[in-house]
Amino acid sequence: MSDISLQTWGLSLGLAGGLILVHRLWSGSRSQLPLPPGPKKLPILGNLLDIPSKDPWETYAKWAKDYGSDVLHISIAGQSMILLSSLKATQDLLDKRSSTYSDRQMNEGSPMLALCGWDFAFVLWKYGEPWRTHRRMMKEGFGSPQAVVKYQPKQVLAAHRLLYRLLHTPQDFYSHFAYWGGDNALSAIYGIDVQPTNDPFVEKALHGVDSFAVAGSPGAFLVDALPFLRFVPEWFPGAGFQKTAREIKAMVTEMKDKPFAETKRRISNGTASSSFATDCLESAKERDYTEKMVSDAAATIMLGGTETTVSTMASLLLAMMANPEAQRKAQAEIDAVVGKDSLPTFEHESELPYVAAVLKEMLRWNPAGPIALPHYTEQEDNYNGYRIPAKSMILGNSWGILHDEKTYPDPFSFKPERWLTADGKLNPNAVDPDIGFGYGRRECPGRHFAKTLLWVATASILAAFTVEKARDENGNVIEPTYEYNSGIINSPLPFKCSIKPRSQAIERTIRSFDS
Annotated binding site for heme: 444
212: CB partners within 8 A, 6+ apart: 113, 116, 118, 303, 307, 488, 489
Q: How far apart are the first and last CA of the chain?
A: 92
CA-angle at 148, arms to 146 and 152, nearest 5°: 115
3-state DSSP helix/strand/coil % of the chain, to nearest 5: 60, 10, 35
What does the CA dihedral 119, 125, 128, 134 come to, rounded to 10 degrees?
Answer: 70
CB atoms within 10 A of CB 350: 10
**How far from chain centre, in Å, is Cα 172?**
24
CA torsion sign for 280, 286, 291, 294 is: negative
Please state the residue numbers annotated as binding site.
444
d(CA 432, CA 191): 32
- Residue 111, amino acid: P
d(CA 32, CA 291): 50
- Residue 168, amino acid: H
DSSP, res 84? E
**How far from chain centre, in Å, is Cα 277?**
21
Residue 479, phi then psi, degrees to nearest 5: -80, 125
Residue 443, phi then psi, degrees to nearest 5: -60, 140
Q: Which of 50, 40, 30, 65 is nearest to 403 (CA)?
A: 65
